[in-house]
Structures are given as structure tokens and as C-alpha cells.
Amino acid sequence: MSHAKRHYVVTAAAGGIGSSLVKRLLDEGASVFACDISSKRLALLTEHNPEAKERLATQKVDTAEASGCVAVAAAAIEAFGTIHGVANIAGGIVGIGEDLIDRPIERITADEFNGTLRLNLLSTFLMTQALIAHFRGRHYGKVVNVASLAAFGNFDHMGNAAYDAAKAGVIGLTQTLCRSLGPDGIRVNVVAPGSVFTERVQAAFSKEFIEAQRARIPLHVLTGPNDIANALAFLLSDESDQISGETIRVSGGLR
């Protein structure tokens, strides 16, 4: 798989999944406009990819703000001329920890619910919206979103009522945009991981909790950031041009 001479926008690009994807895309010849809420992490991302500094641009942004997404889209187009796709990775559970997993609905405030929707669903909607005119003008574009197995509500210890609903919304948005944007040559897909054990996640949970998650995975192997990055890279590439509207589980066989 080659991404040579292709150009992408990646959100949450300096996090665990995002930095893995950015490195893979750069290693395969792509140019990446990396945006993240943390300027410190973006600086580290640049530091860790010195060989590709001419093909890596960064910008601090809150992707749940429409003006920020519009600014990112404009800057990315100015930097690279053409954008082939966007990976909407921004999301998660704010302050993730065992006390938030399976939190009863009675203990989820309206502010927490809205904040979770904002982080996971609104950010995906806004960044996609900001790039649609560019994709439509070229009659080509790749939108790859990140949901979660939590969206299907089949498991305990996966999320909570706010997070599960937000990720289900990402899948619904993907399916709707597949239908509405397909005639414009725009492919829209979503990756649904199980629990992704980034360094941040591993630090937030006990060893016992993590081992329990491993035990229920059919392959008995924890899903890591690189596993998700591999799926995202495939869906961004031209090798997946005939795939749209799909939800790809990356979960070691967990359904």
C-alpha cells in the first residue's frame, strides 16, 4: 500500500492512534496536515518525524468548533493544494477511568452527555463538513471516522450511555454521508475498535481490568494504536476506493 503524493488531514493527530497513523502515512510517502488540541503534543509529533518535516504541517485546534475546522481545511489546502482524505480520530471519554465505564445514566449529567457528543460526534461532523466543498470540487475524497464497539451496546466495560450514544451517532453519520456524498465521488467509512490500549488508557485502568478485557477477546490479544492506524490507512488509500458506507471492526474478533 502506497500513499505517495497523497495528502491528508488527521485530527487528534498527536494522540496514540493519531500519531501511529501519521507516522505510517508519512513513511509511505504521504503529506499530512496534523491537528490536535495540544500544541505540546504536536511539537513532539514533529520532533518524532524529522525525516518528513517537509511533508508534515501542524495546527492546534478544537475540532468541535466550526471556525477551527474551517481554518484547518483552508490551511491544509493552502499547504498541499489537494486533500485526498480526512481521518476523524478526535473523540473518547473525558477523564477516562474505571469510574466512568458503565456509569449509570442517573450519574451522567446533561453537561457530561453534551460534552461527550461534542467531542465525538460534533467534531466528526464539523471537520467533514469543512472539507466537503473541496472533495466535491475534485469529485474525490476519503472520509474515515472512528467509532467504537461501544456503539452497538453489546458489552459491559466498554463505555457508558453518553459515549455509546455518541459513537452510534458517528456510525449513523457515516452511513448517511455514504449515501448523500457517494454521487460526488466521496467515500465515507468508519472503523469501530474494541478497547484500544494506548499508553493513556493503560495508565487509567488497573492491571486486573486490562487482563479481563484481554480474556474476552477471541484472539486474546489487546488492540493497540497501530492496529487501528493500519485500518485507517487502508481506508484512506486508493486501494479501498470501491468501499464506502462500511463499518470495520478492529477488535481481535470481539463482536
C-alpha cell at 15: 494522540
3-state helix, strand, coil in the chain (%, to 5): 50, 15, 35
> Cβ-count burial of 122 within 10 angstroms (0-12 exposed, 13-18 middle, 19+ buried)?
buried
* Angle, CA of 228, 101 and 15, to the nearest 5°: 35
The residue among 18, 61, 19 whose CA lies nearest residue 36 is 61
Q: From 33, 34, 24, select the one nearest 3 (Cα to Cα).
A: 24
The active-site residue, picked from 33, 125, 135, 163, is: 163
140 is catalytic: no
Q: How far is CA 117 from CA 15, 152, 181, 210, in A?
A: 19, 16, 23, 26
Residues taking part in catalysis: 163
